[in-house]
Amino acid sequence: MKGKEKVVRQSKGPLLLKRTWEKKILILLITFLCTAGSLAYSIFVVTPRYDSTAKISVTSSKGESTLLEKDYKEIVLDDELLAEAAEKSDAGYTVKQLKNKVSVEVPKNTKVVSITVRDKDPQVASELADSVRELAVTKIKEMAKSEDVSTLEDAEVPRVPSFPNIPLYALLATAIGFVLSLIGAVAFELLDDRIKSPEDVEKGMDVVLLGVIPEINLGKK
């Protein structure tokens, strides 16, 4: 009896895999729907955003005051500077709105200040990045007491949106859809207590089957 129970338990894993595999069409369908839903949402619902970046080069000579990375960020994101940039622009943004669109990066051990503006209009993003860059050059010259501050790279009008990342989102949706559908199929089989096989009879009734009558197709008469 114990030996028989051991055989039944050992066959439970392969049987579960077999029954889960029988639902492969449903699993693939759910995965496809998740991918299609992600693509539809990214293309037709989400408003694309474009990033335009302008760069400033700062060269510090001996004897001049130097600024830290956080100082450059504070200068660029200063309310007065952004207010002037917003006033020059025709986009009609407030200082608070513009501050949410501007990001500043200063790579470690460099004197390059990258100013990135994200906007739904690529032309506006480019114009704002250049406007903030021009004002930042003047402000940094005053703060660093140096004339060695110049434009390293003008902002260009981006052609491809930086947000949303449609291929990445589609890939994530595909992976999530597949995993969730697979977990759902396995959970359904584990919770399903219907009798579908001789092993289910042995497990549910705690008996040993002596034989099984096979299904015979006698055909139509």
Q: From CA 28, how far away is CA 32, in angstroms rounded?
A: 6
145: left (phi over 0), alpha (psi -120 to 50) or beta: left
Pick out the chain residues at pLDDT < 70. 1-12, 60-67, 146-147, 193-213, 215-221
Domains of the chain and any CATH numbers = 2-44+165-205 (no CATH), 50-153 (3.30.70.1130)
Residue 135: per-residue pLDDT: 95
> What tokens appear for 220 in the block?
């139509």
Ordered alpha helix ranges (H), the chain: 2-10, 12-21, 24-40, 69-76, 79-88, 95-101, 122-144, 166-191, 198-205
Q: From CA 127, how far away is CA 112, in angstroms rounded?
A: 20
Cβ atoms of residues 162 and 53 within 8 Å? no
Cβ atoms of residues 68 and 58 within 8 Å? no
> What tokens appear for 174 in the block?
């595909």
Residue 81: per-residue pLDDT: 95
Longest dimension (CA), the chain: 107
pLDDT digits (tens, 9 = 90+) for 98-109: 999 999 998 887
Residue 211: per-residue pLDDT: 63
Residue 220: per-residue pLDDT: 57
Q: From CA 23, how far away is CA 185, in angstroms rounded?
A: 7
CA distances from 46 to 32, 51, 84, 175 (A): 20, 16, 30, 21
Tell me phi and psi for residue 153, to 5 degrees.
Answer: -155, 125
Residue 15: per-residue pLDDT: 72
Residue 2: per-residue pLDDT: 46
